[in-house]
Amino acid sequence: MIDYETLKLIWWGLMVLLMLGFALTGGWDLGVATLLPWVGRNDEERRVAINAIGPTWEGNQTWLITFGAALFAAWPLVYAAAFSVLYVALIFTLFALFLRPVGFDYRSKVEDARWRNGWDWGLFVGGAFPALVFGVAIGNLFLGLPFNYDDTMRVTYHGGFLDLFSGFTVGTGLLAVAMLTLHGAAYLYLRTDDAVAERARRAAIAFGLATAVLFGVLGFWLARLPGYQVVAIGDVNGVLTPMQKQVSHEVGLWFANFHAWPRLWLLPALGLGGALLAAAGAARRWRWLALAGSSLALIGIIVTAGAALFPFVLPSSVDPVVSLTAWDAVSSHRTLGLMLGVVVVFIPIIALYTGWVYRVMRGTVTVEQIRRETHTSY
Amino acid sequence: MLPVADVVELSRLQFGLTAMFHFIFVPLTLGLSWILVICESVYVMTGQQVYKDMTRFWGKLFGINFAMGVTTGMTLEFQFGTNWAYYAHYVGDIFGTPLAIEGMMAFFLESTFVGLFFFGWNRLSRVQHLGVTFLVALGSNLSALWILIANGWMQNPVGAAFNYQTMRMELTSITEVIFNPVAQVKFVHTLAAGYVAAAMFVLGVSAWYLLRARDTGFAIRSFAVAAGFGLASVCSVIVLGDESGYATGEVQKVKLAAIEAEWDTHPAPASITVFGLPNQEAQRTDYAVRIPYVLGLIATRSTDKQVTGIKDLIREHEARIRNGILAYEALVKLRQGDTSEDVKRQFDRHQADLGFGLLLKKYTPNVVDATPAQISAAAHDTIPRVAPLFWSFRVMVGLGLLFLFIFGASFWFLARRNLAPQRWLLRLAVVAIPLPWVAIMTGWFVAEYGRQPWSISGVLPTFLSASSIDAGQVWFSLIGLITMYVLLFVIEMYLMLKYIRLGPSSLHTGRYFRETGTPAHSANAS
């Protein structure tokens, strides 16, 4: 079996990969839903937008569900701490996510303008709100969350729901909304035509620029915030608890990894460049370039955040020592090895059949098609 | 800081309500998906249009139900972390694995292909589309497999050991977890119960069309599929649902004794109590009607093995609690850094009973200073209330026999081509639509209420499993969840009833009742 240290490192990469899987596919579903009330000015146009993502959104959301389950299996300490610490925020997110499966399936089953309009706003909330909360949550990782452990490893939280909101975290929340909306706009631009595509194109330009600006500003802001760094830790190839390390906490430390490995600067460059590329692609009406740009932006921005935090996953602001890291918040050696096998077998299979489903459902969704298939479309 | 009692009770209420609500939709998904496969297979083999229409119409109802299943399923994944954080920490190393495998092996399959089921009719060949329908059914059923492996592990936690360094249970053998006998029995029983629910749903709705003489060609074929599928399923649910799953695992023994109100251990083979009034305080069953030998045969599959009675179980548990105190004492020393051989040996010898020691935390945080009275109280805690389990179980079994009768009679009259005059049977089928859900809920109640006071049988008490959060937070989520669920349920039922009333006319093929105006659709539609 692969040694424990390597497995821990691989699992850090796999969690980032699963998050990217959701951001890249489920991300455009969230983005399209966020844009829905604006890109569609009447029922048929909105149905165009909904049906561009309708047949595939369910599978995409499964990346999120799988991310949650993999968190439970591979990083149980993170799952336990993050979910109970973020209780109220996650329950709100859950309520917003509720509106999606029923929104997609139920909206067009009743021919009533108010019913459909109501569900459209439901889908908007189900798209924009989770994006905002995910962004705010990731912003809070940089600030640290006020949690601690007792001697039986029971996690306790010393803060409230509103403490999650500060200038910086609202900024990261807006960045998440902007980049996912950009991604949704780029996807919609590719999959539709006429008025809907044109509005999506303009949205891609606007949100591409917004993403670039927000990402840049937050980068400078982060440099002024206290960061965390592991100064000493026990044997990372062995069994570790979060108490067996020393952590320093001072301004600028979130850039320590970038100073140590200067090549990492390529990541934020990719994030910034991707967002600008998406905006430029949309401006020049190169549909595929816009989507390629938004995809690169998502990869660049998410991996930048991960690389800055590494090895931290969930820093504690009240007791930095018990911050959870990729070395000490993990499952046993056996479970990590087993789960790696599962991922190696199934993720390629999932990628293959997802690709096939997209191929079957390819093509432009048009108003004429919605009229023709009015009883079978969403 | 232990979670406050309010948080534990509210979180239990919330988990129970949301899990049961989720399980309104799951059985229909499990069974209806196969009914779709059956209808579509007949369509692909015979080319008869009516079977395609059946696939699409029952598929529409499947979709309305599926959306709610997905919606309510997310809540459960969240709650293990939000409300049961210590549970997540303590057993995540084992429990998270089947959940993650479920996501990758099953839920992805189901969710990715379900869109193609609805939107792929004109983009796929007949055989390809049938393949897609099959994969949706396979995905949803595999989903149930992994979830029930996880649940089976809560009832009988095999393949795991405690690690004092990390203060949690860790996986020792995944094959033991997968081939856990309790999980296997649960899996087949739960699936078959889902099939019964879906078959009763299709049977009842079809019977309603037959009673109103609407689209009879469509309805009688649907009725036939449901009767055949239902009869096979109800036989499986009864045969595979017997108490063979209760022979292993500590909490399973307690459940068996409780559902049979077996206060004392009787010489083998034990008699079964068909009826009686369980009296918890006096530890006896009043007015008991008993049939000799039957329980021993069902529960132990033998004539010489005993079924342990409640009084003996309490005595056994008291002994295990005393051992648990020794395990806890050693654990505290180990955690404080005293890893001498003596301490390790003491811990290893008693570690299997550590969970029983933890039961005392409710009475004394230090565990080791427990008084005999406290030990006795903790031992009594290991027995859940007998009467609710006794009665729930009997409701479930009684309903199972009723379903056997309904499907059997339906099949019989269909085979004799004499169904139409049996209006009593058609009416009974309509009225019986909700009853499988009653049986399923009572079944889950027996399994999960009967598991108390444990979240993981013999390993982790429920009151320790909850998160250390404020009761106010749980009130907020509980009220919010109930409000959202009631709202969504009303909407779902409205759509379900709307489409049931429309019937196959909702497909807009121009061939059915509301479009043709003729009540009886030609029986030989091609």
CB contact under 8 A, A69 and B64: no
CB contact under 8 A, A69 and B1: no
Q: Which residues of B fall within a CB distance of 8 Å from A112?
A: none
pLDDT in tens, A281-318: 999 999 999 999 999 999 999 999 999 999 999 999 99
**What pLDDT score was predicted for residue B245?**
58
DSSP annotation of B3 reads P
CB contact under 8 A, B476 and A95: no
Do the beta carbons of residue B227 and residue B414 sit within 8 Å? yes
Q: Measured between alpha carbons, how far is residue A308 from residues A138, A229, A254, A262, A355 in Å? A: 12, 10, 5, 12, 32
DSSP annotation of B102 reads I
Nearest CB among B67, B94, B484 relative to A105 is that of: B67
Which residues, listed in sequence order, are joined to residue A248 by a DSSP beta bridge? A229
Supply the ipTM of this predicted assembly: 0.94
**Closest-CA distance of chain A to residue B85, Å:** 4
Phi-psi region of B509 (alpha: psi -120 to 50; beta: other; left: phi over 0): alpha
CA distance B35 to B55: 8
**What pLDDT score was predicted for residue A296?**
98
> What tokens does B408 get?
């059997």
| CB-count exposure of residue A220 (10 Å: 0-12, 13-18, 19+) | exposed
Which of B29, B84, B97 to mutate against chain A (most A CBs within 10 Å)? B97
Residues (pLDDT < 50) of chain B are 521-526
CA angle, B170 then B172 then B174, to 5°:
105
Do the beta carbons of residue B401 and residue B389 sit within 8 Å? no
Q: How many CA atoms lie within 13 A of B97 on its CB side?
A: 29
Residue B523's CB: how many other CB atoms inside 10 A?
A: 11
Three-state secondary structure readout of chain A: CCCHHHHHHHHHHHHHHHHHHHHHHHHHHHHHHHHHHHHCCCHHHHHHHHHHHCCCHHHHHHHHHHHHHHHHHHCHHHHHHHHHHCHHHHHHHHHHHHHHHHHHHHHHHCCCHHHHHHHHHHHHHHHHHHHHHHHHHHHHHHHCECEEECCCCCEEECCCHHHHCCHHHHHHHHHHHHHHHHHHHHHHHHHECHHHHHHHHHHHHHHHHHHHHHHHHHHHHHHCCEEEEEEEECCCCCCCCCCCEEEEEEECHHHHHHHHCHHHHHHHHHHHHHHHHHHHHHHCCCHHHHHHHHHHHHHHHHHHHHHHHCCEEECECCCHHHCEECCCCCCCHHHHHHHHHHHHHHHHHHHHHHHHHHHHCCCCECHHHHHHCCCCCC
Strands B168-171 and B160-163 come out as antiparallel
Nearest CB among A65, A72, A360 relative to B88 is that of: A72
> What tokens does B70 get?
């997905």
Residue B497's CB: how many other CB atoms inside 10 A?
A: 10
> What tokens does B415 get?
């085979």
CB contact under 8 A, B105 and A94: no
CA distance B490 to A85: 32
CA distance A125 to A100: 9
Q: How many CA atoms lie within 13 A of A378 on its CB side?
A: 32
Angle between the B310-335 and B372-381 helix axes, to the nearest 10 degrees?
120
CA angle, B395 then B400 then B402, to 5°:
95
The verdict on residue A378 lying in a domain is no
**Closest-CA distance of chain A to residue B170, Å:** 7
CA distance B389 to B260: 9
Do the beta carbons of residue A35 and residue A45 sit within 8 Å? no
**Closest-CA distance of chain A to residue B356, Å:** 16
CB contact under 8 A, A98 and B488: yes
**Closest-CA distance of chain B to residue A316, Å:** 16
Nearest CB among A58, A80, A102 relative to B89 is that of: A80
CB contact under 8 A, B104 and A72: no
**Closest-CA distance of chain A to residue B39, Å:** 19
CA distance B35 to B29: 10
> What tokens does A260 get?
């140590």
CA distance B174 to B153: 11
CB contact under 8 A, A61 and B111: yes
**What pLDDT score was predicted for residue B511?**
87
Q: Which residues of B fall within a CB distance of 8 Å from A154?
A: 1-2, 85-86, 89, 468
Q: Measured between alpha carbons, how far is residue A301 from residues A186, B109, B128 in Å? A: 17, 29, 39
Which chain B residue lies closest to A150 (C-alpha atoms)?
B1
Nearest CB among B70, B105, B174 relative to A101 is that of: B70
Do the beta carbons of residue A31 and residue A127 sit within 8 Å? yes
Angle between the A287-309 and A266-283 helix axes, to the nearest 10 degrees?
160
Which of B133, B166, B332 to mutate against chain A (most A CBs within 10 Å)? B166
CB contact under 8 A, B96 and A152: no
Identity of the residue numbered B340: S
**Closest-CA distance of chain B to residue A364, Å:** 14
**Closest-CA distance of chain A to residue B191, Å:** 22
**Closest-CA distance of chain A to residue B335, Å:** 8
> What tokens does B69 get?
């299943």
Per the structure, the complete domain to which residue A128 belongs is given by: 4-373
Query: Which residue from A51, A19, A56 is spatially nearest to A353, judged by alpha carbons?
Result: A56
CA distance B379 to A340: 41
Query: Which residue from B288, B248, B249, B251 is spatially nearest to B270, judged by alpha carbons?
Result: B288
Which chain B residue lies closest to A341 (C-alpha atoms)?
B101
A262 CA to centre of own chain: 25
Three-state DSSP at B75 gives helix
A185 CA to centre of own chain: 16
CA distance B11 to B78: 12
Which chain B residue lies closest to A61 (C-alpha atoms)?
B111
DSSP element (H, E) containing B413: helix B386-415
CB contacts < 8 A (A, B): 243
Strands B460-461 and B454-456 come out as antiparallel
CB contact under 8 A, B115 and A54: yes
Which of A60, A94, A162 to mutate against chain B (most B CBs within 10 Å)? A94
Do the beta carbons of residue B321 and residue B379 sit within 8 Å? yes
**Closest-CA distance of chain A to residue B42, Å:** 22
Which of A91, A110, A342, A378 to mutate against chain B (most B CBs within 10 Å)? A91
Which chain A residue lies closest to B96 (C-alpha atoms)?
A73
CB contact under 8 A, B85 and A81: yes
Identity of the residue numbered B394: R
Q: Which residues of B fall within a CB distance of 8 Å from A68?
A: 77-78
Q: Which residues of A fall within a CB distance of 8 Å from B167?
A: 152-153, 241
Buried b / exposed e across A2-34, counting CB within 10 Å, b at 16+?
eebeebbbbbbebbbbbbbbbbbbbbbbbbbbb
DSSP element (H, E) containing B315: helix B310-335
Q: Please give the tally of structural domains in chain A.
A: 1
CB contact under 8 A, A102 and B477: no
Q: Measured between alpha carbons, how far is residue B7 from residues B216, B462, B467, B470 in Å? A: 54, 11, 8, 7
**Closest-CA distance of chain A to residue B93, Å:** 5
Q: Measured between alpha carbons, how far is residue B508 from residues A68, A95, B475, B517 in Å? A: 41, 34, 46, 13
pLDDT tens sequence for chain A (378 residues)? 899 999 999 999 999 999 999 999 999 999 999 999 999 999 999 999 999 999 999 999 999 999 999 999 999 999 999 999 999 999 999 999 999 999 999 999 999 999 999 999 999 999 999 999 999 999 999 999 999 999 899 999 888 888 999 999 999 999 999 999 999 999 999 999 999 999 999 999 999 999 999 999 999 999 999 999 999 999 999 999 999 999 999 999 999 999 999 999 999 999 999 999 999 999 999 999 999 999 999 999 999 999 999 999 999 999 999 999 999 999 999 999 999 999 999 999 999 999 999 999 999 999 999 999 988 888
Three-state secondary structure readout of A226-258: EEEEEEEECCCCCCCCCCCEEEEEEECHHHHHH
Nearest CB among B66, B88, B103 relative to A76 is that of: B88
CB contact under 8 A, B92 and A80: yes
Going from N- to C-terminal start, the domains of chain B cover 20-255+383-504
Q: Which residues of B fall within a CB distance of 8 Å from A347?
A: 104
Do the beta carbons of residue B82 and residue A91 sit within 8 Å? yes
Buried b / exposed e across A67-76, counting CB within 10 Å, b at 16+?
bbbbbbbbbb
Q: Which residues of A fall within a CB distance of 8 Å from B89?
A: 76-77, 80, 153-155
Its pTM stands at 0.94
Which of A98, A191, A342, A343 to mutate against chain B (most B CBs within 10 Å)? A98
**Residue whose token pair is 């509210």:** B10
CA-CA-CA-CA torsion sign (B64, A64, A100, A360): negative
Three-state DSSP at B221 gives helix
CA distance A86 to A97: 16
**Closest-CA distance of chain A to residue B446, Å:** 27
Which chain B residue lies closest to A241 (C-alpha atoms)?
B166
Three-state DSSP at B87 gives helix
CB contact under 8 A, A83 and B82: yes
Buried b / exposed e across B114-129, counting CB within 10 Å, b at 16+?
bbbbbbbbeebeeeeb
Q: Measured between alpha carbons, how far is residue B473 from residues A58, A136, A161, B14, B298 in Å? A: 30, 20, 10, 12, 46
